Structure 1
Amino acid sequence: MREGAGDAEEIEARLARRLGELRTGRGWSLDELAGRTGVSRSTLSRLERGEMSPTAGVLNKLCAAYDHTMSRLLAEVEERPAHLVPAARQSVWRDEVSGFVRRSVSPPHPGLRGEVVEGTLLPGADLAYDGPSVAGLEQHIWVLEGALTVSVGDGEREETYEVGTGDCLRFRVWGRTRFRCAGREPVRYALLVVLP
């Protein structure tokens, strides 16, 4: 599914409002949130006013500060999903800067701990996350097309995996993760996320 420009703009506007609500709901100033996330005050202000879209990396830092998964945050700006999630209603979010496209195949739902995301990384895309939004998050990455390089952990404890078409990598996230598409073709994968 490719959402229309109007749909994408509405999701971006709701995301901007929700980011502001999360910050003010905790009684944090922009300066305090900047200190907690390492994202500049001016960037945070522009995000909350809807003047710019967050990158996947920035959104991950904000989710960690708010103790949200990225999927939960994005689900909060959409209509509550029904049990059946038709392909035409699966939301798509794009990080044009990093070359990442994220489809929420099975978004967070009350009473369920898991979700399914389809990710696509363009050739040369490189996403790095400082840590999980929720410590101990369980992830299963099933590559549908292409090849994905995944690094998990910090420093000497970092492990790197080459995950090819049909392969599945599974782990719990406690530290840094990095996803790279080093091939000449995009990589498309299913990401199954389970809350601890």
Structure 2
Amino acid sequence: MRSPEDALDTRIGARLTELRTQHGWSLGELAERSGVSRSTLSRAERAETSPTAALLNRLCHVYGRTMSQLLSEVEAAPAPLVRAAEQRTWEDPHSGFVRRSVSPPHAGLRGELVEGRLAPGADISYDRPPVTGLEQHLWVLDGALEVTDGEHVHHLEPGDCLRMRVFGPTRFRCAGPVEARYVLAVVRP
């Protein structure tokens, strides 16, 4: 019997294949556009591996979507209310990043709320935003977080809120001995 994570990976893989096909791209063309190897793309599309946050970010950039949009596209139509117990989580075991979609994403809306958690020492880097000019408001709830936006490094403690428009690389690092937990409000341009 497949686990819920395996089923999600299968749905993500199928959606990635669908998006590539809609654009009329071969795996080689997508590899050139995304900077991800053809074999990695193929394995993700066939759900032979769980895609990492960094991989999904690169593909979201190419397809002009946020990660929440991509993940919502593999779920049923969103309801206006999502109870805490029903909010979807996704974990990148490679980086120690856990992402919970707090608000139900909807194609007609530009904003969404996400809870992020990074284990002590966890470090995740994105080489580009999923959508150029994406606005993010990051509010730290617990722990310490170091956020790098381009060349600017921000050290955030509980209660601190950072607003940034993302045009280039970003990095999120748990800078303390305990898990960093934060709310990220994402607004598409």
> Do they fold alike, i.e. is TM over 0.5?
yes
Q: State the alpha-carbon separation in 1 of the partners of residues 88 and 12 from structure 2.
A: 13
Q: What's the CA shift for 1:174?
A: 1.0
Q: What's the CA shift for 1:107?
A: 3.2
Q: State the alpha-carbon separation in 2 of the partners of residues 21 and 100 from structure 1.
A: 26
Correspondence for 2:69: 72
Instruction: Say whether 1:171 aligns with 2:164.
Output: yes
Letter in 2 for 1:97: H
* Preserved contact between residue 71 and residue 107 of structure 1 (Cα < 8 Å): no
Identity of aligned residues (%): 62
Letter in 1 for 2:172: F
RMSD: 1.1
Letter in 2 for 1:18: R
Q: Write out the 4+ residue segments of structure 1 that deviate beyond 6 Å after TM superposition.
A: none
Q: State the alpha-carbon separation in 2 of the partners of residues 170 and 36 from structure 1.
A: 29
List aligned pairs for 1:172-191, cutoff 5 A.
Answer: 172-191=165-184
Correspondence for 2:154: 161
How many residues are matched? 188
Correspondence for 1:122: 119
* Preserved contact between residue 139 and residue 173 of structure 1 (Cα < 8 Å): yes
List aligned pairs for 1:1-196, cutoff 5 A.
Answer: 6-153=3-150, 158-196=151-189
Report the TM-score, using the length of structure 1 for normalisation: 0.93
* Preserved contact between residue 129 and residue 167 of structure 2 (Cα < 8 Å): yes
Letter in 1 for 2:55: V
Q: Secondary structure at the match of 1:8?
A: helix
Letter in 1 for 2:17: G
Q: What's the CA shift for 1:6?
A: 3.0
* Preserved contact between residue 117 and residue 179 of structure 2 (Cα < 8 Å): yes
Q: State the alpha-carbon separation in 2 of the partners of residues 132 and 39 from structure 1.
A: 15
Q: In the TM superposition, what whole-angstrom CA distance separates every residue of 1:99-118 from its partner, at most 9, and x where no partner exists?
A: 00000001321332100000
* Preserved contact between residue 120 and residue 174 of structure 2 (Cα < 8 Å): yes
Letter in 2 for 1:173: V
Q: In the TM superposition, what whole-angstrom CA distance separates every residue of 1:56-106 from its partner, at most 9, and x where no partner exists?
A: 111100111111111100010111111111112111100000000000001
Structure 1 residues without counterparts, runs of 5 or longer: none
Q: State the alpha-carbon separation in 2 of the partners of residues 99 and 173 from structure 1.
A: 22
Structure 2 residues without counterparts, runs of 5 or longer: none
